[in-house]
Each structure stands twice: as structure tokens, then as C-alpha cells.
Amino acid sequence: MERRSWAEPYKIKMVEPIRITTRAEREAAITEAGFNTFLLKSEDVYIDLLTDSGTSAMSDAQWGALMMGDESYAGSRSFYHLVDAVRDVYGYEELIPTHQGRGAEHILSQILIKPGDVIPGNMYFTTTRFHQEYAGGTFADVIIEEAHLPASTHPFKGNVDLEKLRALIDGPDRIPYLSLETNVNMAGGQPVSMQNLRETYELCRTHGILVMLDATRAVENAYFIQQREAGYETTSIAEILREICSYSDGATVSSKKDNLVNIGGFLALRDPDLARKARALLVAFEGLHTYGGMSGRDMEALATGIREMVATDDHVRARVGQVEYLGNRILKMGVPIVQPIGGHGVFIDAAMTLMHLDQELFPAQALAAAIYRDSGVRGMERGIVSAGRDPADGSNRRPQLELVRLTLPRRVYTQAHMDVVAESVGAVWEDRDSVRGLRFTYEPDELRFFQARFEEV
């Protein structure tokens, strides 16, 4: 008999009960939430795939580390443990701790962007682009075309299109840095190849443009490089991660993902002068330079999580393996999803699923609500609502990708939970023609997807 099964490299020591609701309860809950899954109460959710952000289960070592946190206002021992962990694992010398990823994005944008600047990036992320625009800059998308095509099976859909980047460099605008995201979230958790990282860094360096990684999901990117890129088959995840970071001048990280903690983040830099500028803003917006936005215990658990995420390759293999398990089950039912299956979630192509709905009727928002109604599984819209309005003319940005994201928390759910999710997606798919479009009843000005409310059309 062939033996190909594998299982998670951990066992469960503590459990948290979750409740299965009735269909009537879910109908009432989603209506009350204005058809926005962000506005549901978690108690009304059965399996929560809203996000992989801050939802991971910590290890016994991390819970132990919490007890060792040094809560000194200045010079906390836990801060120095964090500095050591970031230096050892990512290879950056200068650490600016923040309360979460967007705190780091804020500071980076403020120290590098001047009004009128253009910041190229491999697809936008909501908070990243917000901070670039807030600092007076304009985001320019330089990701390869395949990233916008859900069915394209390009192995590195996160790659930078070097021709698009060159055209921008040859243009009239000042470019302070390239914002380079690993395992691109909005593209469906799609990786950048090492070759592309290397070539992009070379091109930027010759033009005096810094490369700033969004290394939030760099470990998942490292895994795909190991699986897909020639020459890396036997290289460890830890080594691949170090090499990824070597092609950059710094990074912002939301520690709520790869780093296996529930809150935290950092800006890491190589240039001490730039780090000094960042620290000057840090003390105004986040906290003193030896804690930023975190408590001592947060920093201690984070330092432990950073080492744990690369201590064995089995961790990330099981993490991405679970996503692939769910994705393959959904794919087998004929449901259109972003391919290849991503690192942190399964992204359903809502435009192809609800072909009877125009994009202005918010198909992904409606599909996420329909899945919740069916089973209490909570996903998230990643389409026209998330894309927001163009600041220049106020029109809806119409992204090519209109997706529902089913995002997997790390080390939280079992394969049986994944089976329940897949069956629910299948049931909604069978009944897709009955899903109605939505219209706004409340639309916030900024990052509208978080708090917008809708009604059925």
C-alpha cells in the first residue's frame, strides 16, 4: 500500500468550544450585520475563515514565553530577544516594533514618501496603499498580468513585471521605493520567485530605488520557492527566507500571520539613518523605541514565534498543505477558484460563480454572505468593495479579481472542519442562481470594506 498521508506536526493541548447555529439564527445575524461578514459577532460564527490575521494558535513554548515578558517601559529584555530573533531569522539589523503591520506601513510611508511620489508595488494591499496615499503618494501596480487571471496556473503569480517597472522608472515621477509583497495576499496568496526578487532588486539598485518587502507571509512564499523553483528543492525554509530578505533594504511585517502571534508587527531596516528617522516617528505614533505598540509579553511570544515558524520545514508544509486540501476539495466540485491554490486561503472566483450579477452588485460580498447563511462559515469579500473608490474621480475601482477569501488560521482547525467548509461551498454553488445582489446602505470613506453595510437588491 502506498503511504502518502501526513499529519500536523503537533497535537492539541487545549480546546475552545464553538457553536453550530440554526439557519434561522444565521439569517437574522447576517441581516443585522448588513451583509458584511466583518460585522458578524464571532459567537454567531461556526468556522471562522475571515482571516489568518491574529487568529493563530500559539504553541506551549509561546504561552510559556508570555510569562517571561519584561514589562519595563525602557530597555525591556523582551525587546532585545525580539531584535535577536529578527536579525537571526530575517537578517535585518534595525528593528522598529509596532502594534501591528499597518503601524509599520504608516511609519515607512511617512519617512520615505513625499507628495507626488509614485510607489510601485506587486498588487495593492488595502492598508499599505492607504498609507502610501495618506503620505501623498500614488500606488502603481507592477505585478505580472497573470496575477489578475484567476485561472492562470503560473507558478509565481506574485512576480514583478520588470517591463512595467522599467517604464515607470523611465517616467517623470520620483520613486522612493518599491513595495514588494511576498505571497501576494490580494492575488490569492501567490508567491514571488527568487529569480524575480533578485532581478527586481538589481534593477532598483541601479536606479537608486529602495526595495521594501511586505514580508508578512514570506515563510509561505519560501515554501512555494522550495516546492516550485529549480535549485531550491533541498534548501531549508530558514535559508530561503534569509535569501528572500537579502534582496531588500527593509521590510514591514504584520506579525499576526507567519509569526504566529495574535497581535504585533515591525518595521525592519538595514540603514541606521533611516531607522533613526523611523524611531523619531515611532515615539509619537506607537510608543517608545523598545516596545513600539507591544507589551513585553507580546514581544516575548513574538520572538518565540519567529524562531518557531522556521524551526522545521514541517510547520509550513502542514499549514499550506491544509489550504491545498481544502482548495482541492472545492476544485473537484467544479467551483472556480484562484489557481494555483494559495498559501493562506482558498479564493473563490465570485464573478464566475455569480455570473448573473454585475460587479456593481457586489458578487463577492453577496457570495460571502450566502456561504455564512448556509453553514455559519465566515469568509471575506476581496473584490470591488475592498478596492474602494478612486481618489481622483470618486468612481468605484473595478478590480479584475472579484473573490471570496476563505482564509485559514494557523494550527486552529482540523481536516474535518475543512470537509464541512467544502460541503457548504458546494451547496451554495449548486444553488448559486438564487443569490441576490447587494447595494450600500452605509459606505465609509476609507477602507470601506471593514464597516460598510448593505441590503439585498
Catalytic residues: 73, 125-126, 214, 257, 382, 449
Give DSSP secondary structure letters for 87-145: HHHT--SEEEEESSHHHHHHHHHHHH--TT-EEEESS--HHHHHHHHHTT-EEEE-B-G
Contact present, 246 and 239 (Cβ < 8 Å) = no
Distance, CA of 141 to CA of 160 (rounded, Å): 9
Give the SS3 label for residue 260.
Answer: coil
Contact present, 435 and 428 (Cβ < 8 Å) = yes
CB of 160 to ligand F0G, least distance (A): 15
- In the chain, the N- to C-terminal Cα span, in Å, equals 54
Q: Indicate the residue among 123 and 366 with the shorter CB distance to ligand F0G.
A: 123
Q: Indicate the residue among 181 and 402 with the shorter CB distance to ligand F0G.
A: 181
Is residue 409 reached through a cis peptide bond, with omega within 30 degrees of 0 on the bond before it? no
Strands 265-269 and 250-254: antiparallel
**In 10 A of CB 86, how many CB atoms?**
25
Residue closest to 196 by CA, chosen among 248, 129, 268, 152? 248
Q: Which residues contact 293 (CB under 8 A, 6 or more apart)?
A: 97, 98, 99, 100, 103, 264, 265, 286, 287
CB of 211 to ligand F0G, least distance (A): 16
CB of 333 to ligand F0G, least distance (A): 25
* Cell numbers given for 130: 492607504
DSSP state of 255: T
Q: Indicate the residue among 100 and 226 with the shorter CB distance to ligand F0G.
A: 100
DSSP state of 214: E
Q: Which residue is nearest to ligand F0G (CB)?
A: 101
Distance, CA of 272 to CA of 275 (rounded, Å): 5
Q: Indicate the residue among 156 and 429 with the shorter CB distance to ligand F0G.
A: 156
The separation between CA 152 and the C-alpha centre of its own chain, rounded to angstroms, equals: 20
Q: Indicate the residue among 193 and 252 with the shorter CB distance to ligand F0G.
A: 252
Binding site for ligand F0G (CB under 6 A): 51, 53, 100-102, 125, 127-128, 181, 185, 214, 216, 254, 256, 265
> What is the widest separation between alpha-carbon atoms in the chain?
64
The residue type at 115: P
CB of 404 to ligand F0G, least distance (A): 13
Distance, CA of 422 to CA of 417 (rounded, Å): 9
CB of 185 to ligand F0G, least distance (A): 4
CB of 134 to ligand F0G, least distance (A): 14
Q: Indicate the residue among 21 and 53 with the shorter CB distance to ligand F0G.
A: 53
Phi and psi of 298, rounded to 5°?
-60, -45
Crossing angle of the two packed helices 296-308 and 60-67, in degrees rounded to 10: 150
Give the SS3 label for residue 254.
Answer: strand
CB of 263 to ligand F0G, least distance (A): 8
Distance, CA of 328 to CA of 7 (rounded, Å): 17
CB of 406 to ligand F0G, least distance (A): 12
